[in-house]
Amino acid sequence: MNPVKIGFLGFGTVGQGAAVVLARNAVEINRRAGRDIIVKSAAVRDISRERAPELASVALTTNHDDIVNDPEIDVVIEVMGGDEPARSLLLKAIANGKHVVTANKALIAVHGNEIFEAARKHGVSVAFEAAVAGGIPVIKSIREGLAGNKIQWLAGIINGTSNYILTEMRDKGRDFPEVLDEAQALGYAEADPTFDVEGIDAAHKLTILASIAFGVPLKFDAVYTEGISHITQEDTVYAEELGYRIKHVGLAIDTGNGIELRVHPALLPERRLIANVDGVMNAVLVQADAVGPTLYYGAGAGAEPTGSSVVADILDVVRVASADVHNRVPVLAFQHDSINESRTVPSSEFQTSYYLRILAEDVPGVMADISRILADQNINIEAIIQKGPASGSSKLPIVLLTKQIVEGAMDAAIAQLEQLKSVEGAVVRIRVESLG
């Protein structure tokens, strides 16, 4: 069979990672695809930038049209990142009848509905395994491997940079900014690293996972999003004392009264496998009715792990290219006309337990005041640790674990706690997820 020619939009960490994997494993890949896959060209911003020496045969250009309008190119790989021009270029490639593969979760989470519609119209495939959890084939597992199940909930550590930072803070006592710099140098972080540390990247990925798990449209704006920038070394130590690990998690839950979508730091019981996923590794735990819980684990970022997912998508696209478009695996797992609008649960209705850290004056009655406010909101305390004041301070950190309560009640209690004269500053609140 004729070789398949591919062109890259972007040739940085992921683009070169994928091209290196394609070159190194060319024989194995040909045995799987039944055809050679040739990287013809790549569009970049700066041609003079150094690239991997084994990719010298790839023609570089700064003109995107050299890729999306090239009649010889069958598959376009978008790994430039961001919104525009990535969106317009993918739509142009699709309009030109090319299959597209992307690692750009921001693009799929926000513009996926439009891109999939264009692809349906033009009878081409859109593949995006690399957009969620780097090298873990979690999209394929949920879309195809769990296709016989009703999925009840999923929970994931889906941002490698945040997990790397939290792990280094906990294990080595390192500072947040120093570890973030390192994650950027290792190629893990987004072009704008606030996407990683403020939970936006994880929210993009959760949007995609939820759509595939529940057959709902992509709704990025519906995700409650909180990052890790307020987590301190102190909180990681107290959490350990209580038998928990602080992880940044994405949760998508079919509550029966809507879909709960949230991304935030959480205390996870340290006995859970997922609480022991460290460094740049990611994991997604899926609870489904027939199979029960399944856990998908692997590298969440980096050149070759993410390249591995891009190459798997290229192979899929090549294999299905000859099948009738209506008989391919649906892009969001469910048939296009079966995607259901569903209510999104507001954060005030979330039901969970909480870790609270309150900095309080060492005066009589302070504990009674705190307990009264929590009791008034029907909040039950599970455990308390009271620490001595830090040197040079008269304030005591009081750490509490609560039983499950609706988030609206916790919001009200925190607002009242912060009004107490004996309480200083904001109350630290981290959700606790037992994932049982």
Which residues are marked as active site?
A: 205
Q: Are 138 and 213 in contact (CB under 8 A)?
A: no
Is residue 227 involved in binding ligand HSE (CB under 6 A)? no
Which of these ranges, 184-192, 211-219, 249-257, 398-406, lies near ligand HSE under the rule CB under 6 A? Answer: 184-192
d(CA 310, CA 78): 10
Mask for 228-247, x = binds ligand NAP (CB under 6 A)? --------------------
Would you say 112 or 397 has its CB closer to ligand NAP? 112
The span from the CA of 153 to the CA of 286, in Å, is 6
Closer Cβ to ligand NAP, 36 or 66, answer by number: 66
- Is residue 266 within 8 Å of 432, Cβ to Cβ? yes
Nearer Cβ to ligand NAP, position 42 or 356?
A: 42
Contact residue for ligand HSE among 74, 196, 198, 304 (CB under 6 A): 196
Q: Does 199 bind ligand NAP (CB under 6 A)?
A: no
Supply the minimum distance, in Å, between the C-beta of residue 209 and ligand NAP. Answer: 14
Residue 189 found at the interface with ligand HSE (CB under 6 A): yes
Q: Cα angle at 240 between 239 and 241, to 5 degrees?
A: 90
Which phi and psi angles does 184 have, rounded to 5°?
A: -65, -45
Closest residue to ligand NAP, Cβ-based? Answer: 12
The span from the CA of 358 to the CA of 126, in Å, is: 49
Task: Give DSSP secondary structure letters for 238-296.
Answer: HHHHTTEEEEEEEEEEE-SSSEEEEEEEEEEETTSGGGG--TTEEEEEEEETTTEEEEE
53/171 Cα distance (integer angstroms)? 36
CA 296 to chain centre: 13
Instruction: Specify whether the CB–CB gap between 296 and 7 falls below 8 A.
Output: no
C-alpha–C-alpha distance, residues 60 and 74, integer Å: 17
The answer to the question of residue 304 lying near ligand HSE (CB under 6 A) is no
Q: For residue 270, what are the CA distances in angstroms to 66, 97, 242, 251, 382?
A: 52, 50, 9, 18, 17
161 scored as a contact of ligand NAP (CB under 6 A): no
Among ligand NAP, ligand HSE, none, residue 432 binds (CB under 5-8 Å by kind):
none
**279 is in the binding site of which of ligand HSE, ligand NAP, none (Cβ under 5 to 8 A by kind)?**
none
**Quick one: what does residue 253 bind among ligand NAP, ligand HSE, none, with the CB cut-off 5 to 8 Å set by partner type?**
none
Residues 5-44 that bind ligand NAP (CB under 6 A): 10-15, 43-44
Binding pattern to ligand HSE, positions 350-389, x when CB under 6 A? ----------------------------------------
User: Which CB sits closer to ligand HSE, 11 or 334?
Assistant: 11
Q: Pick between residue 10 and residue 137 the one whose CB is nearest to ligand NAP.
A: 10
Residue pointed to by tokens 């949920």 = 142
Q: Report 266-295 residues binding ligand NAP (CB under 6 A).
A: none
For the bound state, the minimum distance from the C-beta of residue 32 to ligand NAP, rounded and expressed in Å, comes to 22
Compute how many residues bind ligand HSE; rule: CB under 6 A.
Answer: 11
Pair type for strands 244-254 and 151-157: antiparallel
Provide the minimum distance between the beta carbon of 131 and ligand HSE in the complex, in angstroms, as a whole number. Answer: 7
What amino acid occupies position 117?
A: E
- Does 297 help bind ligand HSE (rule: CB under 6 A)? no
Among positions 74-133, residues that touch ligand NAP (CB under 6 A) are 79-81, 85, 103-105, 130
Contact criterion met (CB below 8 Å) for 282 and 300 = yes
Element (H, E) at 157: strand 151-157
What DSSP letter does each residue of 10-53 carry, written as one string? Answer: --SHHHHHHHHHHHHTHHHHHHHHSS-EEEEEEE-S-TTS---G
Smaller CB separation from ligand HSE, 110 or 405:
110
Q: Is 190 an interacting residue with respect to ligand NAP (CB under 6 A)?
A: yes
Q: What SS3 state is found at 322?
A: coil
Q: Determine, following the binding rule CB under 6 A, whether residue 220 of this chain makes contact with ligand NAP.
A: no
Interface residues with ligand HSE (CB under 6 A) are: 134, 159-161, 188-190, 196, 201, 300-301
Interface residues with ligand NAP (CB under 6 A) are: 10-15, 43-46, 49, 79-81, 85, 103-105, 130, 134, 187-188, 190-191, 301-302, 306
